[in-house]
Amino acid sequence: MDMLEFLRTRRTYRRFEQRPVAPEILTEAVDAARIASCGANRQTVRYIVVQSADAVAAYLPPEQGQPKPDELPTAFIAVLQDDNLPGASDVDVGLALGSLTAAAWAHGVGSCIMGAIDRPALTRLLALPDGVRLCYMVALGYPTHASKLVEMQDGSVKYYLDENRGYCVPKRSMDEVLLKTL
């Protein structure tokens, strides 16, 4: 598969087989995030791998397509920002997330980057030290549904389910996002 097809298929997945993700795949995903591009090479992003999904699943937000107990992610990676270090940048967090999820998808492991989470409760659960901030949780597992890009309708960016409960991820058209080529 070419790179654009790889990126088109690396979409949000929310329902998973109950097969654990191998620890070496999780470590490789963190390593990919570790070596991602970052501004000024400050390397302020930190990670916690959670392989006990029950420890985190209770803090997932209820929303359309929320997984049933037999569809929960089998691993999570907490993506953290160490604000104690100079140059902490949320841009670096975004670059790390892209590399992390791409490395997982290269092994057929789907992901869901979650920002609508109970940060105070998860911060306590993960026992984060002062100055280390939880940015995102990434749910990981082997997907049991399709996830595809669709053309945005009526300006809505909200995901929705198709007739097979597959995720439809609306995207703006190239004509809308590419303002000009000089």
* pLDDT tens digit sequence for 35-77: 999 888 889 999 999 997 666 555 555 554 567 888 889 999 9
Residue found by looking up tokens 């939880």 in the block: 134
Residue 1, H or E segment: none
Alpha carbon 77 to its chain's center: 9
**Residue 123 DSSP SS3:** helix
Q: How confident is the model at residue 85 (pLDDT cuts 50, 70, 90)?
A: very high
Percentage, residues of the chain above pLDDT 90:
71
pLDDT for the residue 42: 87
In angstroms, what is the C-alpha Rg of the chain?
17
Residue 21, pLDDT above cutoff 70:
yes
Average pLDDT, the chain: 90
**Residue 142 DSSP SS3:** coil
Residue 92 exposed, middle or buried by CB count within 10 Å (0-12, 13-18, 19+): buried
For 3-144, give the CATH class. alpha beta
Residue 11, pLDDT above cutoff 90:
no
Residue found by looking up tokens 């907490």 in the block: 78
pLDDT for the residue 64: 46
Lowest mean pLDDT: which of 26-40, 64-78, 107-121, 143-157? 64-78
CB-CB neighbours of 162 under 10 Å: 12
pTM of the model as a whole = 0.89
The better pLDDT of the pair 66, 101 is held by: 101
Residue found by looking up tokens 């549904």 in the block: 145
**Alpha carbons 29 and 164: distance in angstroms, whole number:** 29
pLDDT for the residue 165: 87
Distances, alpha carbon 19 to alpha carbons 5, 16, 87, 104, in Å: 25, 8, 39, 15
**Residue 4 DSSP SS3:** helix
Locate the domains of the chain by residue range: 3-144
- Average pLDDT on 15-38 reads 96
- Average pLDDT on 117-127 reads 93
Q: Which residues pair with 148 in a beta bridge?
A: 168
- Average pLDDT on 151-156 reads 91
Q: What is the 3-state secondary structure (H, E, C) of 17-49?
A: CCCCCCHHHHHHHHHHHHCCCCHHHCCCEEEEE
